[in-house]
Structure 1
Amino acid sequence: MFYYFLKFIALGPFLKLVFRPRAEGVENVPVEGPAILASNHLSYADWLFMPLVVPRKVSFVAKAEYFTSPGIKGWLQKTFFSGTGNIPIDRSGANAAAGALISAKRVLAAGEVFGIYPEGTRSHDGKLYRGKTGIARLTLETGVPVIPVAVVGTDVVAPPGKKFGRWTRPHVRFGEPLDFSRYAGMENDRFILRSVTDEIMYEIMRLSGQEYVDMYATRAKEEAKKAASKGEGDEPRKLAS
Structure 2
Amino acid sequence: MARWMWGALNALQAVFMVVVTLVGFPVALVLSVLLGPRMPLRLAAWYWSPLLFAGAGAKLEVEGAERIDWSRPMVLVANHQSMIDIPSLFRAVPVPLRFVLKREVASVPIVGWYARMMGMVFIDRGNARDARRKLGAAADKLRGNATFAAFPEGTRSKDGVVGPFKAGALQLALEAGVQVLPVAIDGAGKVLPPAGFIVRPGTIRVRFGTPIDTAGLQANERNALTQRAREQIVALLGQT
TM-score (norm 2): 0.72
3-state SS of 1:206 partner: helix
- 1:118 and 2:156 matched: no
Match of 1:193 in 2: 222
Match of 2:60 in 1: 21
TM-score (norm 1): 0.71
Q: Structure 2 CA distance, aligned partners of 1:165 and 1:55?
A: 26
Q: Structure 1 CA distance, aligned partners of 2:162 and 2:130?
A: 23
Supply the AA of the counterpart residue of 1:61.
Answer: V
Match of 2:76 in 1: 37
Q: CA deviation at 1:12?
A: 3.2
Q: Among all aligned residue pairs of Structure 1 and Structure 2, give the percentage whose two residues are the same amino acid.
A: 30
Alignment deviations for residues 125-176 of structure 1 (CA, whole Å, 9 cap, x no partner): 2111111122332222221011110000110111011222321110000011
Q: Which of 141, 144, 165 pairs up with 1:107?
A: 141
Q: CA RMSD in A?
A: 2.6
- Greater radius of gyration (CA): 1
Q: Which of 204, 212, 217 pairs up with 1:178?
A: 212
Distance 1:180 1:210, change over 3 A: same
Match of 2:46 in 1: 8
Q: Structure 2 CA distance, aligned partners of 1:180 and 1:55?
A: 22
Q: Is the 8 A contact 2:42 2:95 kept in 1?
A: no
Distance 1:2 1:139, change over 3 A: closer
How many residues end up aligned between the 2 structures? 198
Unaligned runs of 5+ in 2: 1-38
Q: Which of 187, 210, 221 pairs up with 2:239?
A: 210
Q: Is the 8 A contact 1:150 1:172 kept in 2?
A: yes
Unaligned runs of 5+ in 1: 212-241
Equivalent positions of 1:65-84 (< 5 A) are 76-82=110-116
Q: Structure 2 CA distance, aligned partners of 1:81 and 1:2?
A: 11
Match of 2:16 in 1: none
Q: Is the 8 A contact 1:40 1:204 kept in 2?
A: yes
Q: Structure 1 CA distance, aligned partners of 2:168 and 2:147?
A: 16
